[in-house]
């Protein structure tokens, strides 16, 4: 558990430092545009404020980093 916690903290640090870049890429993927427009950002505002989604994503990524073989148990 300690390894998963440490990895989660590091992934969360990366997300915090790269927040704008991550959500800009998410916006571009979701809208299919080469850049993120104001309308695209407004439609993704729900995702940027969804802390439960962020938590699940961070824990899922950390579990994959720690042990790729058993990460399916966390995501299922």
Check pLDDT > 80 for residue 18: yes
Check pLDDT > 80 for residue 70: no
Whole-structure pTM value: 0.72
Of 43 and 64, more confident: 64
Instruction: For the chain, count helices (H), then strands (E).
Output: 6, 0
Of 3 and 29, more confident: 3
What average pLDDT score do residues 18-26 get?
85
> With bands split at pLDDT 50, 70 and 90, how would you rate the model's confidence at 71?
low
Of 23 and 75, more confident: 23
Contact 44, 26 (CB under 8 A): yes
Q: Cα–Cα distance between 1 and 22 in angstroms, integer?
A: 27
Q: Cα–Cα distance between 69 and 60 in angstroms, integer?
A: 13
């Amino acid at each position: 558990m300690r390894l998963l916690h440490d990895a989660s903290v590091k992934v969360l640090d990366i997300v915090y430092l790269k927040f704008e870049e991550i959500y800009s890429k998410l916006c571009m993927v979701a809208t299919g545009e080469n850049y993120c427009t104001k309308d695209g950002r407004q439609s993704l505002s729900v995702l940027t404020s969804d802390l439960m989604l962020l938590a699940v994503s961070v824990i899922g990524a950390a579990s994959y980093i720690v042990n790729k073989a058993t990460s399916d148990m966390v995501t299922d």
